[in-house]
Structure 1
Amino acid sequence: MGEISCFADAPLGLLDHGPGEYRGRHCHDAAFVAVVLEGGYQEAGDEGRWNVRPGDALIHHAYESHLDRFEAKGARVLVLALPAALAATPHVRGRVDDPDHLVRLAERDARAASLHFAESFIAAAPSALDWPDMLADDLRRLDPFALSDWAEEKGVRAETLSRGFRAAYGCTPKSYRANVRARAAFAAVHLGGEAFADIAHRLHFTDQAHMTRAIAGLTGAPPGWWRRRQMDTRQR
């Protein structure tokens, strides 16, 4: 996870990205949605890799990491806060029928625009572009496996595996799996009452201390702090 630059939040509103712009792997601590208005780009992150065009929308959950490669003509993107109705959705890519209406709403009332996004979002089925996406999908399942075994099974040369994956996703497979595991642990700690030791065992951490370091490295705070914060929020 040391390969990631993290930002305190995502800038909301209209964003213009220049021709051929490249944003290296980074994360935001706040959840948000991105709706493509003009142009297009490729995003590769903890939830997959996609080529997006006008009308496409991507959902980003808290502490998700990704990189962006913008096309030769750049892109204009509307960024909104993730509506509560979609906070737990497993779908992260989809479309909206009338992105211009979202822009007009956002100019008057950003909250209303987010609520309308929740009503108009149409999820799209996941798809793999090539073998790095297949590997990313298997890494997201968090079932332990040796990368050398995966490479042999898929017919990918071992020396190509790390280099090709980094070219697609901006990090090594090992770093990718560590980040996905840390996010899964954070979600379990933050949203439920499962014992920390049980979470660590279920997600294949070496031990609870290993999980604690991973969550603190990702979010800046240990799991105990997040659990107390969540309990305080529920009691209000």
Structure 2
Amino acid sequence: MVQVGLIAGLGLLAIACSLPEVQQRPAVAASDFAVADVMVGVPSVYDRYTFYHSWHWEYENTWIPEGEQGRSGVMTVYHNDRTGAWLFTSEAYGVTDEMADWILALPTGEYITAYSDAEGHRGLLRDTLEFPVSDDALAGWLQPSGDDQVFGANNYGWPTLQGVAYEVDYQKTEEHSTVWVADTAVDMRALVHFNRRVADAKLPVHFMPDLPAGKIEVAADTESAIRRVRHRLTAISDNYYEINLNDYDQK
């Protein structure tokens, strides 16, 4: 596999790539995220997938002790605009599955885990989720606050999303949440439902599972008297990551 990219501090910078395929591909603007462009379930040639974008979320969960997985950090996932596939690496699931080299998620609900065991054997595991039917409208308990923000703002021409804030008050607890929801043409289901899988790998960010199609939770901030859980989309950056299923035993 090949990865090109640079994350410096809290900033995200793209670096030039010497591979001919990358040099010939123009930068992708937000308008290129179109459902019509997604070839659902169609693999790249010879089971090779190339990802030209990475999505980055900052997160914090003070319910988790300092120094433990999921307390705070940056979660990075990769997206293939042509096939609609998502790629998850240890940059997303951390040490929750130390045998997994990466997890490929397809819009069909199929997840393919590439693993390497202690004896050096490399194989593929497959599991499938049935994605629930999306709600037609936002839930009534999401109350619009009138605020909106741009998420992923940058000086490089990378895509951004316009998030609208909604407030949530919990009747049985002292918690209060603010959730930002944005419109997107990208199929987010494989990302949103990732943690429903019966598997070791888990993401540190939990997304609302019941948003209407074409909506994505770009940020959320939940506070109680003593704890805080929050995440925020910081960038949708140009990048390069390539995987090849033929590098693993598919039997």
Range of TM-score over shorter length: under 0.3
* Higher RCO (C-alpha under 8 Å, 6+ residues apart): 2
- The answer to which structure has the higher strand fraction is 2
Q: TM-score, normalised by structure 2?
A: 0.25
Q: TM-score, normalised by structure 1?
A: 0.27
